[in-house]
Amino acid sequence: MEILSAEQIRAWDSYTMEHEPIASVDLMERAAASCLRWLEARGWLERHFSIFCGKGNNGGDGLALARMLSGLDCAVTVYILEFGHLGTEDFQVNLARLHATPVEVIYIQGPEHFYPIQHGEVVIDALFGSGLNRKLDGVTEQLVQHINGSGVEIISIDIPSGLFVSSTSKGNTIIRATHTLSFQCYKEAFLMPENAAFVGEVTILDIGLHPDYLRHLSGESELLDAEIIGAIFRPRQQFAHKGNFGHALLVAGSFGKLGAAVLAARACLRAGAGLLTCQVPGCGYTILQTALPEAMLQVDPDERLHTSPPGELDKYSVIGIGPGIGTDSRTVAFLKDLLSRYRKPMVADADALNILAAHPELLGMLPPYSIITPHPKEFERLFGPSPDDFLRLEKAREKARQHQLIIVLKGHYSFVAMPGGKSYFNSTGNAGMAKGGSGDVLTGILTALLSQGYSPGETALLGIYLHVLAGDCGAVYWSQEAMLPSDLTDQLGNAFQIIRKRQ
């Protein structure tokens, strides 16, 4: 699913009106009808609705919805925020239609016209849509604060009023929606952690915008979905053998952190690597042999740290490095030696990223199209702080191009920046995965997929999708609270089966 800017969304509306063809006011009818169906499906038509409208097309959506609710004998009150102008043409058409119904319309010119919102009411926010380009102030800001203080459920149409689509809204006064009903596609604002308190639960409603528009569009970002993943995933051939699925080297663990090595190694094998060799310090020999008999071991001469890379590196299809390795100076030298001798795409995470951040000269030694998987703090250590989430993502795109890396910025909606400029947001996952060790599992999955011959870009997309799909399966079985990172690995089989069935 494409993620579009406000300008692209308006262009899609215009394209639909021209090529279907359909009048803009009739397209507004579709939008309102889709919201009505959503309310009806939730059994909310017995509630009292207070619909707050601006005088733009978002307000027109609200007026059309009010008329439709009234036609079903629902209790509706409409509040129109006065701006000193008549409003858009479609707003005026819908206002005239509403006046033919018994719906009470109250005009708000100042705080003296704010009426108490009663417990049990449902507020519909149709004040401002995706075209907003300045922060709210004056009576508008006061009205939003009044609505936010009501304590009732708030449903925003298109986007919570006050929220910008493609830039930060930090410090702005914004509707705190319980639900956001948006149309046809995700907006970047919905995927930013800084906006979590405002968007609530997002539902994308299909209003029949013309599909041909997307064929002429080359969007910068997409939302990962089953269609994209289905095109990437390759089921195994009947006569395949272990040699067809690569030989991965996983460099992980140190004294006190061998659990990271176990987590990454188990995930690597569960995700399909044909052969796996784990490089561990001496203290990890018994642990790994016991926990994972399917893996081979390369044991470092040092008991506690990584100090000496294997002599033969070319035999490995891929190297994954980082979980639990520490940042000792001898491990820094280890990483430098390894990077100087291995030129295939790698997977780097955790302490490997911490070493790269402390020794930026090593960043340029990563083989082109390697995959790095920082969480926001690791990303900041690597590339410096960002004042907001939007600029952080722009920086990820810039650094991916500059260093020819694939950057997986981990989070609820993990973000993948490709070296060619395209980027992706993952669409699934849950807060049960927010536990130490989940990233180690991802490292193992990515290492396994790259080993099997998936391209680095395919690996990043399929890997994060598998990771969070396993997390969603695990949350159903164990609950978000009780789920462990090792449970993600145990659910990889279910995740693969789901992807296979969706193809």
Q: DSSP characters for 294-306?
A: TSEEEE-SSSSS-
8 A C-beta contact, residue 252 and residue 324: yes
Contact 267, 470 (CB under 8 A): no
Helix, strand, coil shares of the chain, percent, nearest 5, are 45, 15, 40
Does pLDDT of 219 surpass 80? no
Domains of the chain: 2-219 (3.40.50.10260), 226-502 (3.40.1190.20)
State how far the Cα of 199 lies from the Cα of 85, in Å rounded to an integer.
29
The answer to whether the Cα torsion of 397, 402, 407, 412 is positive or negative is negative
How far apart CA 41 and CA 346 sit, in angstroms, is 48
Give the strand pairing for 406-409 and 122-126. Answer: unpaired
Residue 456 has what pLDDT? 98
Average pLDDT value for residue range 217-240: 91
Sign of the CA dihedral with 326 first, then 331, 335, and 336 last: positive
| Residue with the two structure tokens 């978000």 | 480
Mind listing the pLDDT tens digit for each residue in 229-255?
Answer: 999 999 999 898 999 999 999 999 999
pLDDT of residue 360: 96
Res 86: pLDDT: 82
Which tens digit of pLDDT belongs to each residue from 385-414?
Answer: 999 999 999 999 999 999 999 999 999 899
Kindly report the backbone phi and psi dihedral angles of residue 36, in degrees, each rounded to the nearest multiple of 5, phi listed first: -60, -45
Asked if 60 contacts 28 with a C-beta cutoff of 8 angstroms, the reply is: yes
Question: Is residue 1 predicted with pLDDT exceeding 90?
Answer: no
CA dist., res. 129 & res. 210, Å (int): 20
Beta bridge partners of 2: 222
Mean pLDDT of all residues in the chain?
96
Asked whether residue 89 carries a pLDDT value surpassing 90, the answer given is yes
Res. 272: pLDDT tops 80: yes
Phi, psi of 248 (to 5 degrees): -95, 145
CA distance linking residue 363 with residue 348, whole number of Å? 11
> What is the pLDDT at residue 217?
83
